Every structure is written in structure tokens, then in C-alpha cells.
Amino acid sequence: MNENLFSTGEPIADTAAPAGPIADRWTTRKFEAKLVNPANKRKKTVIIIGTGLAGGSAGAALGEQGYRVIQFCFQDSPRRAHSIAAQGGINAAKNYRNDGDSVHRLFYDTVKGGDYRSRESNVHRLAEISNAIIDQCVAQGVPFAREYGGLLDNRSFGGAQVSRTFYARGQTGQQLLLGAYQALLRQVDAGTVELHARHEMLDLIMVDGAARGVVVRNLITGALESYTADAVVLASGGYGNVYFLSTNAMGSNVTASWRAHKHGAYFANPCFTQIHPTCIPVSGEHQSKLTLMSESLRNDGRVWVPRNAGDHRRPADVPEHERDYYLERIYPAFGNLVPRDIASRAAKNVCDEGRGVGPGGLGVYLDFADAIRRLGTEAVKAKYGNLFTMYERITGENPYEMPMRIYPAVHYTMGGLWVDYDLQSTIPGLFVIGEANFSDHGANRLGASALMQGLADGYFVLPTTLGDYLARGPVGEVPAAAVEAAETRVTAMIAKLLSIRGDRTVDSFHRELGHIMWEYCGMERTEAGLRKALALIPALRAEFWERVTVPGSGDDLNQSLERAGRVADFLELAELMVIDALHRTESAGGHFRAESQTEDGEARRDDRNFSYVAAWEWNGGEPPTLHREALTYEYVQPSTRSYK
């Protein structure tokens, strides 16, 4: 089917995961890992790109262990990392509610929720570590909600029938990030972490095929700076902003991962992108981002639309018998708490039927009237007050008095750089953690699992596996020629962008790319649409390099230059995403191919032909090479994913 769109290479395998019973593998790996003598840790330098939950926790943990850490973020403070926007909660299998939860059930729910496209070993490790994460964060002072007996409170999230999500009102990401931030700043004060804000990674320094440093640009002065180390860790987040409009912070980008991809780091499952079902709908062309309303709202809010198409009455004027609580009707077992991919497609379907609400009919109601009658306004305010306030400020509508209007939007990317069980990429010495890697979520991420993965990787996994890498042999000095080569590449890229002096802004290209991606590689993908995108994207990329205008210079603060480099990378990534989506002719999780669905419109997987990780190799601008990592299931047998 490749039709010269890609070539097929040798299979790839995760050789780092131990054999044996799945419950023993992480314990086995930790014991088998070589250790670095405490006195020698001071001689080892690690570079970390990013200061969100994954990067911040990794910097704090490695600094605490005694390594010399050099850490970068492009924000003006580590506290501005996009992790701060996560609202709803973090999963853990503590079973405080005594409702049947366990490590194995969290493992099972995550593999099933990912539509059987994730590795069992990685997911089980994540479930095991989940409980230690909560203990760590409580010890740091994270103000989790508590129930009447003093235990930490839990609530439900999509894809689970137990209450395992720990939360701090609607500010969970912010509170967890502040915990990691204070631990990181403790290490800055101790002198083990050297922190650089307002610096952006633009290239890797490579020596004999291994990652040995980075070239960064000081975003205030424009100066290029090079730093070398024994290993490099990417914790730079996901690539959802390829769609232009997403719930991501406007600065979120793929540049660090993409520049590493060009040096040999395989990019895995790029088409697995998540559409979040509870976002404030698009209101016009003026918008540069979308606002997420926490999935936790689906605990008490009921989703509905009018039963009849074209019903434009005020929600209060629609009687109960003329409302369609479609998630409760179609999925009675899970109701409003079905996973995100299913809730998103269901919302799209009812809107396509002409039953959507609000401007353009692109919205559904999330109604709290029942919860307010049952619990009282003050109880609802205690659980969701800041989210309700945010919604009212953005829309001018009071959700205590009328239902919220929501619609799906791009939120999270399950794809990312390929890593093995040790979180090491196909480039030796380059480790990738958090949303920047592909490892734990398969084709769909369950709600409240992103924070869990970021902190598991940073606090608990990386300190063991990175230590093993550093203990396995000394690395030599970094030759000046390697640094010079990386700096030359970056200088040439900047000069090229500044020299074009065309007649179109960077944002106009980004917005057009986002429209193409949403239209043809969004919630529903078809062969015809993907092929159209494969014609449009290269043409848009060629036009970018002929007509983009980047005012100013590279010698000082220049945000147009920053955005231009990021959009240039998005234009290349977008083509790979579409190739990946076109080659995967099944439907799985967030990847829904219209040609592969059941009679009642549910996703139809093809386990016989697509039970693998698609790991893509860069070929210098020529068609990429596909390397398949076969997925095997010993403990959770793939079945038709049903939430009915």
C-alpha cells in the first residue's frame, strides 16, 4: 500500500524489558541495573529539556541523587510549563474506596483503554508506581482533596468503573507541578541543578552516534549556546499544536523531538492523537487556542442534545422527554464516563445529525442541574468552583443556571519518540520521558493518566535506567568539531528563515496547516481525505519556504523567529502523521478510519495486521522507513472494546 510513500525496514524490538512474570519485571530491572557510586555521580552531567511534570520531577530526582543537571525551559519560569493546565486529577490504585480497584485493574483498564496498542510491560510498571507517586506528592505537601475520615478523596474518570482519581479541586496539574517545582528549586539552591529559563533547544550534539549535548537559543538575547553532557533527556511535551487550535499552551511544540528525530530517533505512532470531548467550542477565527474543561466534570454533569434536529430552543425550554442523554443511552454501563475517544466521536455524530447546540451547531450540553438538585450548589462549587468560574469568564454564561456547551478538541498526543523499557530512544544516551515519548498509552489515553506517567517517568523510572546507562562505561570528551557542526546547522536554519522576507506571516501558515490536519486527519480519517492532505501539506511547506516573512533579526528577542522554526517542524511532522494514518487502515482509539467501523459506528481494530508499534525513521527528506515493533499480550487478551 505504500506506493512510494514509505519503505519498510527491519523490525524493532524492546530488548530492555526483563522476561518473567509481569508483576516482577520492574523489580527485576531495578535489581539488574548497574549503579553509579555516589562519589561518581558528581562527575556525571545530564541535560534535561523541559520543566513540566516529567522534566521537573526528573531534575529534582537526579539532582537529589547527586548528578550534575543542566536544565532548560523556553518559558520564563518552570512554573509556566503546560502541565500546570491539567485540571482533573491523577490516577493511582490505592483502592481507598474499597470498590474493587487494584494494580492489576489499573493495568487492565489502561491496556484496554489504549485499544490494545500499548506494551504490557510498560503499562504494568506504570500501575505499580502509581501508589508511590501519591505518597511522594503528599509528602511534598500537594493539597489533595480529602474525605470525611481524613483519607485522600477519589473521583471517577472516563474508562474506569472505580474511583481512583486523586485531585486538588480543578487545579491538580498546577498543584503537582508546584510540588515538583519546589523539589527542583531545592536542588538549584543546593547547586546540583543549573536552571536556564527562556532557552529553546534547537539541535542535538552528536558524537559517534550518541547524544552528547544540545545547542539552545537564548530567547532574550538571541545568542546560541552549546552545552555538553554524558546524556540528554527530552521532556518537551507533545505535538498537539500541529493542529493550530488545541488545548495546548500556544508555545507547546515538537521542535526538540523533531530535531532529535532527524538525528536517528525513531518517531512512533504519530497518528495516535487524542481529541478531548469536553472543551469550550470554537467561537471564531480570532482564537489561537482552545480551553479544556476538565473530564472530572463528567462525574456529575450529564451530556445531552435535543432529540430532534434543528431544535434551537433555550436548554431550559427543552422538556426532559425531548432530550437525548446519548452517552447514557448508547453506553449504559459507563454512561458519561466512557473513554475520551468514544465520547468525542459520539459528540461529533450527534452534531453531524443536526442536533448540535450553540453557534454553528458544534456543541453539546454538559448539564449540572441534576447534581445541583441532588448535592446542592455549595457542594458542586466545592468540587468544581474554579472550573465553573473559568467557563463563565470565557463564555459569559453561568453554568450553575444553564448547561455548559462543550465540543471535542485536540488535547494530547499518544505518539512520540520511540523508547524502550528504559525510556531510551534509538539514539544511545537520549532518553525521552512524559508526553514526548510514545510508551504507555497506546491508541488512546485514559483521563488522569498523563500526570501519572510524567511523574512515574521522572521521579521513579529514569533515575534507575539512566543510572544504568551512565554506569556502563565512561564517555569521552566531546570534540569541538561536533559542537561546531551542531551550531553551524542551527545558524544556517536561522539565516534561511530570516532571508526569505516573503509576504505571509508565520501564523497564517500555521493556521492553514491546522485546518488541513483537523479536516483530514482529525476525529475521523478517510483514505480520500488523507490522500488530499498528502497533496496539500507538501505544497504548503514549499510555499512556506518561499513566502514566509520573519521580521527582525536573530540577535535579540524575536518571537516570530521562534514560531517560524516551530512551524517549519510542524510542516514536516504533519506529513509523517498523515502517512502513518494512511498506512494504518484499522480504527484504534484516537485513530478512527471511516472505512473500518462496525455496523453501529464503533471502531473496528485489525489485530491480525496492525498489532504493532509503527516506528518511523527519518531519511533526510526522502520517504520515511517504517520499523514495526510487534505487540504481544500475555495478561490482557485483546477483545472488542465495549463500554456498553
Packing angle of the helix pair 559-583, 527-547 (nearest 10 deg): 160
Residue 107's pLDDT is: 98
Catalytic residue, candidates 298, 340, 445, 563: 340
Q: Of how many residues is the chain composed?
A: 644
Angstrom distance (rounded) from CA 247 to CA 245: 7
Quick one: pLDDT at residue 253?
Answer: 97
Q: What are phi and psi of 637, to 5 degrees?
A: -80, 125
83 φ, ψ to 5°? -55, -25
- Starting at the edge strand found earlier in the chain, the sheet holding 68-72 runs 193-196, 68-72, 45-49, 231-234, 430-432
* SS3 call for 365: strand
pLDDT at residue number 2 = 61
Per residue in 391-409, pLDDT tens? 999 999 999 999 999 999 9
Is the Cα dihedral 315, 319, 322, 323 positive or negative? positive
Q: pLDDT tens digits, residue range 444-499?
A: 999 999 999 999 999 999 999 999 999 997 788 999 999 999 999 999 999 999 99
Cα distances (Å, whole numbers) of residue 551 to 199, 217, 503: 20, 17, 11
Confidence of residue 1 (pLDDT cuts 50, 70, 90): low
pTM for the predicted model, two decimal places? 0.96
pLDDT tens, position by position, 464-476: 999 999 999 778 8
Whether 340 is catalytic is yes
The model's pLDDT over 267-313, given as tens digits with 9 standing for 90+, comes to: 999 999 999 999 999 877 777 889 999 888 998 999 999 999 999 99
Angle, CA of 73, 77 and 83, to the nearest 5°: 75
What's residue 127's pLDDT?
Answer: 98
In the chain the domains, ranked by start, together with CATH numbers, are 276-410 (3.90.700.10), 480-610 (1.20.58.100)
For residue 389, the model assigns a pLDDT of 95
